[in-house]
Amino acid sequence: MSENNFNIPSRQSAKGIIVFFGVSVYKVIKGLIIVIAAFFLKYFQSGEALDIYNYKVILSVAAFILYFIIFAILKYLNFKFYINKDYFILKQGIINKEETSISKSKIQNVYIKQNVIQQLINVVSLSIETAGDDKTEIEIKALSKPKAEALKKQLLSGAKVEDNLEKKENIKKSVETTNVYYKASFKKLLLEGISENHLKSLVFVLAFIFGLYNDFKEFIKQFKVTSRFNEYFELDEQALLGLIMFNVTLLILLLITSFLFSLIKTVVQNFNLTVYRKKDGLEISKGLFNKINLGLVSSRIQNTTISTNKFKKALGLYKLSFTQAMVNKKQQLKFNIIGLNKTQINELINEFYSGVYTSIQKYKPNRYFILKEIMVNIFLLLLINIPIIFAPPLVFLINIPLVILFAANTLYAYKKAYYSIDNKYIVVGTGKLIETHTSFLETHKVQAVKIKQTIFQKKRKLATVKVYSASKAITIPHIELNIARDIKNFLLYKVESEDRDWM
Amino acid sequence: MFSNSQIDIETLPKVEALELKPIAKKYFTIIVINLVILYGIIIAVLSAVKYFTKKEGFHSIYWYLVAGVLIVFLAQFILYKLGFKKRKYALREKDITYSHGYLNNSSTTLPFNRIQHLEISRSFLARKFGLSTLKIFSAGESGGDLSISGLPKEVADSQYAFLTNILNERE
């Protein structure tokens, strides 16, 4: 225990120096990548061999590295943390000293993560998230795994439930009774990756290429890429054919890239996805390059969403995503388990929302839902058609698949939309042609209720209800105004009369 | 103690029966001043460009641009005028409601036991008119927060004190 005594100020593992060093070098390289690339390009163009052994080059590189090493050591020496009664205290800063203290009761989540450097030198990072403002997020970058686990346990032991003996015992028990609930096989990850929404990746890949193009515009100009292409396609009789071939190849290349992108992304992010079951919730661990350990306390879960799409459903693949209060957006995206089958989904949902399936009574939104979707789609079509006016008439044919797609989307969006509210749970179903989502929220976790009414809805005596929780809002669209009011009154009554703990 | 008696929705307190209070009429003057300043700057920039540029193209469309800006100004003015009457708020024993918006009216109710913190802010103009903005924050970033502009300073202060009192009692 002497090693894990957190009451006296202690530094992190000495390996932290390596992490600090690695992180700052990575940041500099990332920031200067274009400058470095430009530097090399200039050398190549000038035709001279790069003289690496020039003493000036060696000296400046050495100075840089030395600077970072000293910086990392100083940062390490000045980084101390300890627990004083109910407070976690962190002192850091080389010149500007900074002291942060956090009440244990304010701690919302504690994560243990590992990036590539940390995996290599066998340390973990521990970050603490607090209620209140999101600026006070704290990260300790290098701890040995057992020490991190011990610190996590101590930090969470005082969190909120201290006066609740029963819960405290639960936490103790939960540490002992951790068992693997689910482990995603590599095959499942591959299937998940293959059935991803590749259009989303396409947008991402396109944005990336445009970004790259903007950065390297000057270089591309220097390489005279365009003029070379022009020469290539200048054969008159074959020009059109060549252009079409070029575009088709480009499109196929883009599609393959985005397919590979979503496949690799899914596999890398969820590599070795393992879900442990604990008495008070779940623990998710996953990731290839960035290993991450996420604790999920069932009482802090805000919304839960089941997502699938047509292909995944056929393969029996479902995704479960959770949101917790006060978790930042980036972290929020990681709180999900993919590759679950129907039975596992039902089991987990029943664990967090016991008996919800038997109490679901589906109500549909008003048919105005369809009308509104049609209006929005017509507007979109008009927008798309404005630039087409100047294009050859053949391009107008693009409207045919678009109209079919929009119509199918609208139809399925209405078909998949429903809501259900009972004493304990709100369940809302949404979807489009391909995808389907089901969201769950406990009524006592509601934060605020909003009734929205546009002037078009007003004429039809309809309204949209938005139910806010501490993390994400749930929308019940286009229902009768009096029902919307009943829902609002009911939810407010639940929240105000029970005064239960909701975070 | 667990209770799970059936709830008769008809007997629940009704939020629609609330008598909402309008905000201070003076606040509309502030809205108008802000609008005039905003569009004044846009027109001033356009005029400055006209003065300095020698391009014929710009001179020929200058008046169309100004007319366009004025139309947008007028439209926004009318919307604000219509929407101003919709800016209302009310307190109940256990929650606070704020409703606003003409084209897209929304009415948000935030229970007191979900309030995280409170804030009063006063812009330069608001200080001149003796008005305040009361901001009420709930947890998370999901947007269920309320921001009531154009409250008379005394009203805002007393609400603030009242709500702070409730927050402190809760702890």
Between CA A468 and CA A454 the distance in angstroms is: 19
Instruction: Examine the domain organization and report whether A240 and A387 are in the same domain.
Output: no
Instruction: Examine the domain organization and report whether A113 and A35 are in the same domain.
Output: yes
Indicate which CATH number applies to the domain containing A141: 2.30.29
Q: Contact A468/B144, CB-based, under 8 Å?
A: yes
Three-class SS of A35-77 = HHHHHHHHHHHHCCCCCCCCHHHHHHHHHHHHHHHHHHHHHHH
ipTM field: 0.87
Q: Tell which wins on pLDDT, A93 or B64.
A: B64
Q: How far is A474 from chain B (nearest CA, A)?
A: 10
pLDDT at A132: 56
The count of structural domains within chain A is 4
pLDDT at B83: 92
Q: Contact B15/A423, CB-based, under 8 Å?
A: no
- Whether the per-residue pLDDT at B1 is higher than 50: the answer is no
| Pick from A59-68, A236-245, A360-369: least confident | A236-245
Instruction: Examine the domain organization and report whether A195 and A265 are in the same domain.
Output: yes
pLDDT at A235: 52
* Final residue in a domain of this structure, among A270, A294, A318: A270
Three-class SS of A461-501 = CEEEEEEECCCCEEEEEEEEHHHHHHHHHHHHHHHHHHCCC
Confidence of residue A485 (pLDDT cuts 50, 70, 90): very high
The residues spanned by each domain of chain B are: 26-83, 88-170
pLDDT at A458: 93
The per-residue pLDDT of chain A, averaged, comes to: 82
- Whether the per-residue pLDDT at A359 is higher than 70: the answer is yes
A465 touches chain B (CB under 8 A): no
The per-residue pLDDT of chain B, averaged, comes to: 87
Q: What is the average per-residue pLDDT within B134-152?
A: 83
Instruction: Examine the domain organization and report whether A361 and A373 are in the same domain.
Output: no
pLDDT at A162: 40
Instruction: Examine the domain organization and report whether A230 and A302 are in the same domain.
Output: no
Query: Which residues of A are less than 8 Å from B108 in CB distance?
Result: 448-450
Q: What is the average per-residue pLDDT within A152-177?
A: 53
Nearest to B131, CA basis, from B161, B155, B152: B152
Query: Which residues of A are less than 8 Å from B16 in CB distance?
Result: 485
Q: What is the pLDDT of residues A259-272, one digit of tens each?
A: 999 999 999 989 88
Query: Position of tokens 């623990």?
Result: A283
Between CA A479 and CA A496 the distance in angstroms is: 24
- Nearest CB among A326, A450, A469 relative to B106 is that of A450
Confidence of residue B73 (pLDDT cuts 50, 70, 90): very high
| Pick from A17-21, A103-107, B161-165: least confident | A103-107
Other C-beta atoms closer than 10 Å to the C-beta of A499 total 13
* Domain annotation covers residue A3: no
Q: What is the average per-residue pLDDT within A79-92?
A: 85
Question: Domain containing A388: what range?
Answer: 368-412
Q: Contact A488/B15, CB-based, under 8 Å?
A: yes
What end-to-end distance do the CA atoms of chain A give, in Å?
Answer: 32
pLDDT at B68: 94
Which CATH number is B88-170 given? 2.30.29
Q: Contact B111/A496, CB-based, under 8 Å?
A: yes
Q: Contact A132/B14, CB-based, under 8 Å?
A: no
- Nearest CB among A325, A423, A449 relative to B140 is that of A325
* Domain annotation covers residue A385: yes
* Domain annotation covers residue A457: yes
Query: Which residues of A are less than 8 Å from B95 in CB distance?
Result: 492, 496
Q: Is the dihedral of CA B103, B109, B114, B119 positive or negative?
A: positive
A502 touches chain B (CB under 8 A): yes
Query: Which residues of B are less than 8 Å from A458 in CB distance?
Result: 105
Query: Which residues of A are less than 8 Å from B110 in CB distance?
Result: 447-448
Give the H/E segment covering residue A13: none
Instruction: Examine the domain organization and report whether A309 and A426 are in the same domain.
Output: yes
Q: Contact A486/B9, CB-based, under 8 Å?
A: yes
Q: How far is B97 from chain A (nearest CA, A)?
A: 9
* Final residue in a domain of this structure, among A160, A179, A200: A160
Nearest CA in chain A to B139: A470
Q: Contact B109/A450, CB-based, under 8 Å?
A: yes
Between CA A130 and CA A327 the distance in angstroms is: 9
- Whether the per-residue pLDDT at A170 is higher than 50: the answer is no
